[in-house]
Amino acid sequence: MDMEEEKMNKQAAVETFKRDILPSIHAQYEKDGRTDYPARREAWNDFTDYLCKDGKITSRQYATWLHPAYCDPPHKEKKKSFDKEAWISTAKVLHNDPGVLEIDDDAKISKSEGGAWVSAWVWIPNAELNATTTE
């Protein structure tokens, strides 16, 4: 019986990134002693893209994992309020199905405890409408 390969968790991904990828960022972009935060974030995005395409993480993990804290400048405050674009892009990755269920780039968001509702368009063919209408 074939068992599906266990997916990597975020802690393992962060440790692997720090051990295997970050040293090359230091060598290539941080020779002058200045931390190159955009290069770190781009490398994290490339790394998680690879993990997802190689089946090591799920598309949900890929869509929802933020980059490690050492990829942000120390003075940058973390956003306390919700990020509308993040909710919309996550909803699109998880649920968008062109021609069936579509999510606009400016979809309405209703934040609640534990998550958020993201408005979407659901396609109903005329034949389905007529099949459910009673006279």
Q: List the domain boundaries for the chain.
A: 10-71, 84-132
Q: What is the mean pLDDT of residues 123-132?
A: 77
Q: How confident is the model at residue 97 (pLDDT cuts 50, 70, 90)?
A: confident
Q: What is the mean pLDDT of residues 44-65?
A: 92
Please state, in angstroms and rounded to a whole number, the distance separating the CA atoms of residues 19 and 13. 10
Please state, in angstroms and rounded to a whole number, the distance separating the CA atoms of residues 85 and 108. 11
Which amino acid is residue 67, in one-letter code? H
Per DSSP, 114 falls in state T
Q: Which of 44-48, 53-57, 78-82, 84-88 has the lowest mean pLDDT?
A: 78-82
The residue with greater pLDDT, 42 or 127, is 42
This prediction has a pTM of: 0.54
The residue with greater pLDDT, 34 or 2, is 34
Q: How confident is the model at residue 1 (pLDDT cuts 50, 70, 90)?
A: very low
Strands (DSSP E) along the chain, which ranges?
101-102, 109-112, 115-118, 121-122
What is the pLDDT, as a whole number, of residue 73?
A: 82
